[in-house]
Every structure is written in structure tokens, then in C-alpha cells.
């Protein structure tokens, strides 16, 4: 048997973290067994489905590296298949037309509520005669299509995550609507029905989805049986919860994959974290792995039943590990969009109107080398590199205080003088200038370093001072900042 699994998102919103985690588990299971991962877009909700959401889903899956083997298939293009399947059930007497009005259904629910009963359809139109159907149609009533569910039936399956599951037909709310009302024929087929038709047609062997779908499974098993199809195996994975133990929602902040991307998470870090949301590898000490590495070990025997709490600190840590080991050239490519979004300017080595060298690719890679190990998210590069993309800097309180320290002005003036003999600064030359000023001014090296940092960066804290100085020198900003700092000190 060739394993065939599917991810079937609805394009009524952006790709959600929960849907993406389900896609991860499907992908891992398929790759572990050398099977097929199929993408199906469930867009039968015509009012809420949007093409921009479809594109967001496709882009999100591609970004995460969850490449699919077949698809995408669109349910909106398969309506004839569903209507044909509905008609077969009608012809076999397994489904029927129900003419009950919305007012009658509401009255039924109110009566059941008054008696303390769970709401359910009472199957009142299951056995209408042709004359009764004709009479209802003469009244102008439209009909939904209902699938017959026997109350005494017990539906049992072995869930790959949860073990034996059992539902009684009487707990399923009466005969199930499988197609909406329509003036002619059958109307729009509904979720529980089209899912089964698609899974049969696509020969899906394993249905892997969130536990919020458990209630649908018993109904769907009955439909598989009615259509004479082999029932797939089911695996219902735990929900993603917030730290308070409630289902993760928009109230907890970002939940869509595109939002995580904007926040500066890498695809590798995020997909690694999602793999750990509900599954634990055989080696509990291993936390960092690629999708391909996880696929070799993946199995549902290590998927938890309990909900998986979303831990932002853990995600940040994992993300930082991927950033820190990313080669400089690739990391530069990843950071450029965030710098561009912040309005930072860089180019290929031009000289601008102020005779300052415009920041080029080689310079950008030096900057990335300087800040990479301090990044947790890619977007952190924006504030951490801001001082390198502005002509001047504002002095913090600590920076301003440092510049007013006794001897600071003389130190800075000594550095400016020394720089006149250094048209292009090197690391060795920068160290020599500091030693020279220490000796000439007869001050401690700490005063020189702190004053120089405050002058160049506006603060007393920041990235490596010498490397920062070299970067600023390459674009002609070190001397102007030293002059401004001397003015500030006075």
C-alpha cells in the first residue's frame, strides 16, 4: 500500500499555525513511508473564500518547505463529482429530500430545549411518499438532502493517536444534511460529504487532522460505508494551546504563517518548532532537526493526546539557533527585505551628494557578521543596525554623560587628529590609534573606548566597537560623528 495523505485548508483566511502544523505532520508521515502528500483547497464556501487567501496558503506552504506531490485540487471545480455522488445515495435510498423549513426546525429545537434534550433532527421527512413530496414542492418549499443515520448504530475506529474511539448513531444529531437547499436538483454539497467524496477519489489512506474534527469522523465513516469505499485510518492530533491552556486564537497575537514571517522567524526555525508541537523525537535531547531528519523518525506512537502549549520563548530560542548558523551571504539575503521595509538605503557602491559611500553588498555582509550572533529574530536586525544606516545618531543619557566626562573631549580630538593620517582604516590601525591616544593623553584605555563608542554610536552599549568603527569609516561617517560628539561635549 502506498501511503497517501492530504492537507485540505479552506481559503477563508490566511494559513493558520494550526493548519500548518497539521500539514507538517502529514508531510512527515508521507515522507517517512515514501508516500504522497496531496494539497486540496476546500473552497466550497463561496461567500467567504478569497483568491488572496488561496495564494497566502500556497506561499506559506512553499515557504515552510512543505512541497506537495499532487494538486492543488480545488473543490469548486469538482461540483459535478459531488452531485453525482449525492444522486447515487438518493437512488440507493440512503439519502432523501427533506422539506422541513427553518421555522419548523427552530420550533423543534425550542421544544427539545424545553424538555432538557440535546437538539437533533427528528427525521420527520425520511419516509415521505411521492404525493407528500409533490405537495411540499407545490407549496414552493425547497429541499435539502439528508443522509440516513440509524440511531442504534455504533461507529468504532482505532485512532492512531487516541486508540479505540466509539460513537453511537443516536449522538450524531439525526439524519445529516449533505447538500444545501436548491430550487432545482441538489444544492451546494456540504463539508462532511465532499471531504469523503474527495478522499475516496484521491485514494487517501490516512486522514491526519486536528482533534476538533473527531466529531465529524463518525459521520464520515458512515458515508465511506454507504459509498462502498475502504475507510482510511484516522489520526487526530492535539490542538495548539496558549500558555493558559486555551485554544490558540487571534487574541493571543499572531496566528498566521505570514505574520510569523513578518515577525522575523525563519522557515527552518518555525517548521522545526511546529514539529515539536505535539510530537517528541525518540532522542528527547534532540531539539534541532530539519524536516528530512524528522521524517526519518516520525510516527504517531510519539504524538501526544494532550494539547500542545505554544511557547514563544522556545520558538525564539530555536529560531536564534538557525540564524546563528546561517551562512553570512544567505543571512544577508534574508535580512535585506527587513531593512528595505524599514526604509534603510543601500546600493552598489555609489557616492551620494554628501560624498558618503553608499552601503554596498560587501559592506552589508560585514554588518551581518557583526550583528548575527545577537539576533533572535530576523527583524531584530532593524534596530540593531539602525546606527549604521543614519548619517547622525542621537545620544542616549548615558552616552551624553560619557561625553561630558573629564578628558573625553581631548580623547576624541586626539582620535580625529590621528585619523587624518589614515585615509582608510584597518583593524590594526584602529587599535594603534587607541594605543596612541592612551599614551599621549595619559589616560586609561577604558576612557578612550567608552568615549569613542559614545561618539560613534550615541550610547555606551552596542556591538563590537572596533568592527563598528571600521564599518562607519568605510562609509565616511566616523569623522563627522566624532566632530558632532566633540560639539556635544562642549
Q: What would the pLDDT profile of 267-301 be if each residue is shown by its tens digit?
A: 999 999 999 999 999 998 899 999 999 999 999 99
Cα-Cα end-to-end distance for the chain: 82
pLDDT confidence bin for 356, thresholds 50/70/90: low
Confidence of residue 351 (pLDDT cuts 50, 70, 90): very low
Cα 4–8–10 angle (5° rounding)? 175
Which residues, including other chains, have CB under 8 Å from residue 328's CB and lie 6 or more apart? 365, 368, 369, 372
The Cα–Cα gap between 192 and 44 comes to 12
Q: How far is CA 17 from the centre of its chain?
A: 5
What value does the mean pLDDT of the chain take?
A: 93
CB 304 within 8 A of CB 254: no
The predicted model gives 67-86 an average pLDDT of: 96
Q: Give the per-residue pLDDT at 99.
A: 96
pLDDT of 70 reads 98
Shared-domain flag, residues 420 and 470: yes
212-240 residues labelled b (16+ CB within 10 A) or e (exposed) = ebeebbbbbbbbbebbeeebbebbbbbbb
pLDDT tens digits along 400-416: 999 999 999 999 999 99
pLDDT band of residue 67 (cuts 50, 70, 90) is very high
**So what's the pLDDT on residue 355?**
45
* 392 lies in some domain: no
Q: What is d(CA 41, CA 111) in angstroms, rounded to the nearest whole number?
A: 39
More confident residue, 374 or 349: 374
Could you tell me the CATH number of the domain that includes residue 182?
Answer: 3.90.800.10
382: its cell numbers: 532593524
Which pLDDT does position 357 carry in this prediction?
60
For residues 439 and 437, give the distance between their C-alpha atoms in angstroms, rounded to a whole number.
Answer: 5
The average pLDDT across 383-387 equals: 96
- Determine the pLDDT at residue 1: 87
The CATH number given to whatever domain includes residue 423 is 1.10.10.350
Please indicate, yes or no, whether residues 177 and 86 belong to a single structural domain of this protein: yes
* Contact status, residue 418 vs residue 370, Cβ threshold 8 Å: no
Check whether 179 has a pLDDT greater than 50.
Answer: yes
382 found inside a domain:
no
| Contact predicate 105/173, CB 8 Å | no
Whether 153 contacts 222, CB under 8 Å:
yes
Q: Which three cell numbers stand for residue 253?
A: 497575537
Question: Domain range holding 355?
Answer: 326-373
Q: Which of 154, 174, 190 is the last residue of a domain?
A: 190
- Cell 560587501, residue? 362
219 is in an annotated binding site: no
Range of lowest pLDDT (159-173, 247-261, 322-336): 247-261
Q: What is the pLDDT of residue 359?
A: 84
The answer to whether 173 and 121 are in contact (CB under 8 A) is yes
**Average pLDDT of span 174-196:** 86
Residues 60 and 123 in one domain: no
Residue 137 lies in a domain: yes
DSSP string over 320-360:
HHHHHHS-HHHHHHHHHHHHHHTT----SS-B-TTSPBPP-
Q: Round to whole Å and give the CA distance between 98 and 27.
A: 40
Q: Is position 308 within any domain? A: yes
419 lies in the same domain as 482? yes
Query: Strand 163-168 to strand 176-182: parallel, antiparallel, or no bridges (unpaired)?
Result: unpaired
- Bridge partners of 167, per DSSP, are 155
Both 101 and 180 in one domain: the answer is: yes
Is 379 part of any domain?
no
In this predicted structure, the answer to whether residue 249 has a pLDDT above a threshold of 90 is: no
Residues 422 and 465 in one domain: yes
In this predicted structure, the answer to whether residue 328 has a pLDDT above a threshold of 70 is yes
Same domain, 439 and 423: yes
The pLDDT of residue 353 is above 50: no
Is the distance from CB of 236 to CB of 278 less than 8 angstroms?
no
Instruction: Inform me whether the pLDDT recorded for 250 exceeds 90.
Output: no
When pLDDT is averaged across residues 378-401 and rounded to a whole number, the result is: 95
pLDDT of residue 490: 77
Outline where 42-190 has alpha helix (H): 51-64, 79-91, 102-114, 130-138
**Same-domain check for residues 146 and 185:** yes
- Which single residue is written with the C-alpha cell 466550497? 44
Catalytic residues: 250
Is residue 407 left, alpha or beta, with left meaning phi > 0 and alpha meaning psi from -120 to 50?
A: left
425-454 pLDDT, tens per residue? 999 999 999 999 999 999 999 999 999 999
Looking up cell 544606516 gives: 389
pLDDT-above-70 percentage for the chain: 96
Alpha carbons 218 and 205: distance in angstroms, whole number: 17
Whether 384 maps to a domain, the answer reads no
Q: How far is CA 136 from CA 123, 178, 253, 477, in A?
A: 16, 20, 50, 85
**Which of 327, 316, 326 shows the shortest CA–CA distance to 273?**
316
E strands within 222-341? 233-237, 240-241, 308-309
Residue 250 lies in a domain: no
Same domain, yes or no: 401 and 478: yes
Specify the number of domains making up the chain: 5
Among candidate residues 240, 273, 307, the one where a domain is terminated: 240
Confidence at 80, pLDDT banded by 50, 70, 90: very high
How far, in Å, CA of 173 to CA of 404, rounded? 79
**Residue 285 within any structural domain of the chain:** yes
Name the band, by pLDDT with cuts 50, 70 and 90, for residue 196.
very high
- Nearest CA to 339 out of 321, 306, 361 is that of 361
Give the global pTM. 0.91
State whether 214 and 67 are in the same domain: yes
Task: Give the dihedral sign, CA 177/183/185/191.
Answer: negative
The lowest-confidence range among 6-10, 218-222, 350-354, 438-442 is 350-354
Q: Binning pLDDT at 50, 70 and 90, where does residue 370 land? A: very high
Range scoring the smallest mean pLDDT among 171-175, 346-350, 404-408: 346-350
Amino acid at each position: 500500500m502506498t501511503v497517501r495523505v492530504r492537507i485540505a485548508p479552506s481559503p477563508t483566511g490566511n494559513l493558520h499555525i494550526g493548519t500548518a502544523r497539521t500539514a507538517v505532520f502529514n508531510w512527515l508521515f508521507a515522507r517517512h513511508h515514501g508516500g504522497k502528500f496531496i494539497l486540496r483547497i476546500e473552497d466550497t464556501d463561496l461567500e467567504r473564500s478569497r483568491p488572496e487567501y488561496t495564494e497566502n496558503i500556497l506561499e506559506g506552504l512553499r515557504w515552510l518547505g512543505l512541497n506537495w506531490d499532487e494538486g492543488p485540487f480545488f473543490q469548486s471545480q469538482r461540483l459535478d463529482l459531488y452531485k453525482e455522488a449525492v444522486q447515487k445515495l438518493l437512488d440507493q435510498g440512503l439519502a432523501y429530500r427533506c422539506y422541513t423549513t427553518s421555522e419548523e426546525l427552530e420550533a423543534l429545537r425550542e421544544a427539545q430545549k424545553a424538555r432538557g434534550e440535546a437538539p437533533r433532527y427528528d427525521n420527520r421527512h425520511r419516509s415521505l411518499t411521492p404525493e407528500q413530496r409533490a405537495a411540499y414542492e407545490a407549496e414552493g418549499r425547497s429541499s435539502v438532502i439528508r443522509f440516513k443515520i440509524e440511531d442504534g448504530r455504533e461507529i468504532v475506529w482505532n485512532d492512531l493517536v487516541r486508540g479505540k474511539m466509539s460513537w453511537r448513531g443516536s449522538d450524531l444529531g439525526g439524519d445529516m444534511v449533505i447538500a444545501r437547499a436548491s430550487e432545482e436538483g441538489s444544492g451546494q454539497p456540504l463539508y462532511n460529504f465532499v471531504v469523503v467524496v474527495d478522499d475516496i477519489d484521491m485514494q487517501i489512506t490516512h486522514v491526519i487532522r486536528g482533534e476538533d474534527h473527531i466529531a465529524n469522523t463518525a459521520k464520515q465513516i458512515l458515508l465511506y460505508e454507504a459509498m462502498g469505499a475502504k475507510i482510511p485510518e484516522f489520526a487526530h492530533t492535539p490542538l495548539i494551546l496558549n500558555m493558559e491552556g486555551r485554544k490558540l486564537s487571534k487574541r493571543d497575537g499572531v496566528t498566521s504563517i505570514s505574520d510569523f514571517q513578518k515577525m522575523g522567524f525563519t522557515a527552518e526555525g518555525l517548521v522545526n518548532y511546529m514539529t515539536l508541537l505535539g510530537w517528541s523525537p525518540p532522542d528527547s535531547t534532540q531539539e534541532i532537526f530539519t524536516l528530512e531528519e524528522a521524517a526519518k523518525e516520525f510516527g504517531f506512537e510519539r504524538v501526544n493526546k494532550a494539547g500542545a502549549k505554544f511557547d514563544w520563548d522556545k520558538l525564539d530560542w530555536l529560531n536564534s539557533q538557525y540564524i546563528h548558523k546561517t551562512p553570512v551571504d544567505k543571512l544577508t539575503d534574508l535580512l535585506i527585505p527587513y531593512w528595505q521595509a524599514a526604509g534603510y538605503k543601500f546600493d552598489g557602491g555609489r557616492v551620494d551628494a554628501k560624498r558618503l559611500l553608499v552601503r554596498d553588498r560587501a559592506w552589508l555582509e560585514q554588518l551581518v557578521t557583526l550583528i548575527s550572533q545577537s539576533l533572535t529574530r530576523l527583524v531584530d536586525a532593524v534596530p540593531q543596525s539602525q546606527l549604521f544606516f543614519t548619517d547622525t545618531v542621537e545620544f542616549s543619557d548615558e552616552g551624553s554623560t560619557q561625553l561630558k566626562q573629564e578628558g573625553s573631549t581631548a580623547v576624541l580630538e586626539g582620535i580625529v587628529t590621528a585619523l587624518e593620517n589614515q585615509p582608510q582604516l584597518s583593524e590594526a590601525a584602529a587599535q594603534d590609534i587607541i594605543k596612541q591616544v592612551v599614551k599621549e593623553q595619559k589616560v586609561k584605555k577604558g576612557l578612550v573606548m567608552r568615549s569613542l563608542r559614545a561618539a560613534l554610536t550615541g550610547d555606551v552599549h552596542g556591538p563590537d566597537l572596533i568592527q563598528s568603527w571600521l564599518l562607519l569609516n568605510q562609509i565616511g561617517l566616523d569623522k563627522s560623528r566624532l566632530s558632532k560628539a566633540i560639539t556635544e561635549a562642549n
